[in-house]
Amino acid sequence: MRWTRSAAVSLRRVTSAPRGMGEIGASTAEYAMTMLAACTFAGVLMAIVRGSAVKGLLLTIIQKALNLG
């Protein structure tokens, strides 16, 4: 099939995004990935803090801070 110039131009207009619209969903995807990373980091941090060694260390630091006052 041979394309005419007007058909090729029309096809290009239909298949290409308007200028400035190529990344319209990028901010939503980036936000979702950032939230996923933040939640993963929070989960790891909670697992570390709930450990008995860290809990004892934090308790000692808090007790020393309250005794200084």
Instruction: Dump pLDDT digits (tens) for 11-32.
Output: 565 555 566 566 666 688 888 9
- Whether residue 1 is predicted with pLDDT greater than 70 in this model: the reply is no
Question: Does residue 42 sit within a domain?
Answer: yes
Question: Does residue 5 sit within a domain?
Answer: no
The dihedral of CA 10, 11, 14, 19: what is its sign?
negative
Total number of domains in the chain: 1
The dihedral of CA 24, 26, 27, 29: what is its sign?
positive
Higher pLDDT, 42 or 13: 42
Q: Domain range spanning residue 56?
A: 38-69
Question: Does residue 52 sit within a domain?
Answer: yes
Question: Does residue 64 sit within a domain?
Answer: yes
Question: Does residue 26 sit within a domain?
Answer: no
Question: Does residue 60 sit within a domain?
Answer: yes
d(CA 7, CA 16): 14
Question: Does residue 17 sit within a domain?
Answer: no
Q: What percent of the chain has a predicted confidence (pLDDT) above 90? A: 23
Question: Which pTM value belongs to this model?
Answer: 0.46
Q: What is the structure's pLDDT at 8?
A: 57
List the structure tokens of 68.
């200084």
Q: What is the structure's pLDDT at 59?
A: 87
